Amino acid sequence: MELLVRLILLPPILVAAFNGMMGLFSPAYRKQEWLLGGLALAAVAVPFAVTCMLFFGFEGAEVVRYFTWMTAGDLRVDFAYRIDELSLLMTMIVTGVGSLIHLYSIGYMHGDSGYWRFFAYLNLFIFAMLNLVLAESLPVLFLGWEGVGLCSYLLIGFWYTDLKNSAAANKAFIVNRVGDFAFLLAMFIIFKTVTDATQGPFGLDFATLLQPETLALFAGGTGFWVTVLLLIGATGKSAQIPLFVWLPDAMAGPTPVSALIHAATMVTSGLYLLARLSPLVLTSGALWIIATVGAVTAIMAATVAITQNDIKKVLAYSTVSQLGYMFLAAGVGAFFVAIFHVMTHAFFKACLFLGSGSVIHSMHHVEHELEHKGLIPSHHGPGSHDTPLDSEATQDPLRHSPLPYDGPFDAQDMRTMGGLKRFMPLTRWTFLISTLAIAGLPPLAGFFSKDEILFRAFEFGQSAHIGYGVLWIVGLVTAVLTAIYMMRAYLLTFEGTPRWPDSMDTHPHESPWTMTVPLVVLAALAVVGGFLGLPPVFEDIGLPGSWIHGWLVGHGDHLGPVADSLDPLWAGVSPYELHKPSHAVEWALLGLGAAISLLGIGAAVYFFRFGTRGPEADRKARKVFGLFYTPASHVWGWDQFYNATFVKGTVEGARKVLAPFDKNVVDGGVMGLAGLVRDAAGRLRGVQTGVVQTYALAIVVGVVAVVALVLFV
């Protein structure tokens, strides 16, 4: 087992170091794109193959210890990894989807001057995430937690010569530090609580922490505040209110990075943390906070997504909204459903992001051709695939062209597109399948995972508190909005007629196979992935029950690693009693979920008339729903609020307090010391006269002084 765990963890870090060092010191190596990309892909594909082998041969949880990381007082942390049902599933998602994104990147990043650096960072990202999901203790998990934060900073600001991209990277890094601080506080409280009670060494390992006798120490207020702090940490990594603002700006990075962050790595960290500690979270009394944060985030982000015109920003706010669904699931004690939605979301959201990258890649060729024809002024720098958000290009008045909106040409703006299905059939079909999946159309993956979340919210409302019924209704409304904004994105992009200048003679083209193969595989997974979590009521018609429930929660007498608030297996931990709805109600709720999906899809098709109405429909919506549309298009003022309070206050405080301190104390001290040395040196310089007799006299005086000291002191 030790060797197999090494084969999962070591390839990404070794290849990251090799590609990074070789690319740094060998300009010739930087040009070997297939070698660079092939090594990077193999470094993720090998761990995926090893994980599959462990998955199919799994017989029980094991812990692999390598060495003692730190020892101090009662703290003893081993560098150890855990192989169980949850870590195996998450590792398969990270390496499986990660492999497809690496293959896609080989084609997408072709010709970029930072090709070697990009793959070094990408492998490092995978290593950090694997460290996070395989960790056996909170400190080792935190190591991976910080690692993904660092890698996201490096990759979001990958094209660092553009200050906007650097600002987006800084924003992601700084906002996440708030959550990380809360996570650290939670770890300190956990350590103090356990060591005070047991008077023995404790390494914050899960095997000890999740024992019933240890969990009993967190009954009452301690468990509540620990869970709240963990939730704050999770809201940072998983982009929930109030720390979600970094994720939409993270679109400044290359599109494969967006796919990796949104589908397989960073944003899943918070959900994974809550699921790993689910027995502790379940008894904390803080579930209602988690559920409320999730539901409010879900509907807020969905209303913003419906107003966006940048195709990547639509998907970014969609991710925030879907993560809200996952937090809602965790907030009703259905942690396995949250992980189920993490999995299905990884399939269709990775496909959607990579599909948008394929579209942007093609629209950039259109842009270059239009520039070559002189229809729009040339502006693009070499090696740039994505248009930076709010870039100088979009602010340049010379780039205005005859477009169906008042603004410059933008390769990411859906109003510039339309009719792409004729030119990009593979991208179109895979994007459509994933759109329908996230919209919740049965029997695609999103239908089962999202419907299970809504069902568990309804069921928990009956079993715990009726107030959860309100959150269930919020989830239903969000589901309608999801179907509308995703179908809007598809219709504006692929249906209707082309809206870019010279569309009769200037055509986009389908992407190379390295980019389309991952799209096809992910779309296929978006079709079949949901069957791993069929609702139990399907057993009535002879179909198997939910595999993922049995795998994560347990079945028979076997207890899995993930707690379930309403499962009899967890009756000794869960404070909630099950009031299970009848099968008739379950079927009715399934029908309601399907009807909601069809309602949203139908509304979008009617409103946009298969894309023929294009931006005209948006203008009409803005006019009709202006009271809500305008603030939603400005993200309900969250960025303005942070800028007016924390950012402006910090900058002003630094200018008024720290700048004078720096000038008068720090600079003054340094300059004063330098002046003192300069003055002393000037006085001593007079001693160096160059006259030998003077030096001889000084020696005599010195000898006399030393003799006097020896004799009389």
- Quick one: tokens of 19? 């590609």
Residues 22-33: pLDDT tens digits? 998 888 998 888
pLDDT for the residue numbered 650: 83
How many separate domains does the chain show? 2
Q: Are 314 and 481 in contact (CB under 8 A)?
A: no
* Domain assignment of residue 414, yes or no: no
Q: Which of 46-60, 288-302, 609-623 has the lowest mean pLDDT?
A: 609-623
d(CA 681, CA 429): 79
Grade residue 403 by pLDDT with cuts at 50, 70 and 90. Answer: low
CB atoms within 10 A of CB 370: 19
Grade residue 353 by pLDDT with cuts at 50, 70 and 90. Answer: very high
Amino acid in the structure at residue 355:
G
Grade residue 616 by pLDDT with cuts at 50, 70 and 90. Answer: confident
CB atoms within 10 A of CB 706: 10
- Quick one: tokens of 284? 């904390």
Q: Above 80 in pLDDT, residue 686?
A: no
Grade residue 46 by pLDDT with cuts at 50, 70 and 90. Answer: very high
pTM listed for this prediction: 0.87
* Domain assignment of residue 174, yes or no: yes
Across 22-121, the runs of DSSP E, i.e. the strands, are: 62-72, 75-83
Of all residues in the chain, the percent with pLDDT exceeding 90 is 51
Mean pLDDT of the chain: 88
- Which helix (H) or strand (E) element contains residue 580? none
d(CA 245, CA 240): 8
* Domain assignment of residue 490, yes or no: yes
* Domain assignment of residue 636, yes or no: no
**Which range in 208-217, 367-376, 568-577 is most confidently predicted, on average pLDDT?**
208-217
Grade residue 378 by pLDDT with cuts at 50, 70 and 90. Answer: low
* Domain assignment of residue 377, yes or no: no
Residues 253-262: pLDDT tens digits? 889 998 898 8
What residues form DSSP beta bridges with 83? Answer: 62
Please work out, in degrees rounded to the nearest 5, the angle formed at the alpha carbon of residue 606 by the alpha carbons of 604 and 608: 65
Q: Above 80 in pLDDT, residue 675?
A: yes
pLDDT for the residue numbered 477: 95
Q: Above 60 in pLDDT, residue 398?
A: no
Of all residues in the chain, the percent with pLDDT exceeding 70 is 96
Grade residue 389 by pLDDT with cuts at 50, 70 and 90. Answer: very low
Q: Above 50 in pLDDT, residue 397?
A: no
Point out the domain boundary residue: 486, 501, 536.
536
Point out the domain boundary residue: 485, 518, 536.
536
Residues 213 and 337 in one domain: yes
Q: Above 60 in pLDDT, residue 240?
A: yes
pLDDT for the residue numbered 227: 94
* Domain assignment of residue 544, yes or no: no
Residues 485-528: pLDDT tens digits? 999 999 999 998 888 888 888 888 899 999 999 999 999 999 99
Residues 148 and 16 in one domain: yes
Average pLDDT over residues 145-150: 92
* Domain assignment of residue 395, yes or no: no
Residues 510 and 659 in one domain: no
Domain of residue 180 covers 1-364+421-536
pLDDT for the residue numbered 406: 65
* Domain assignment of residue 400, yes or no: no
Residues 654 and 530 in one domain: no
Point out the domain boundary residue: 517, 536, 555.
536
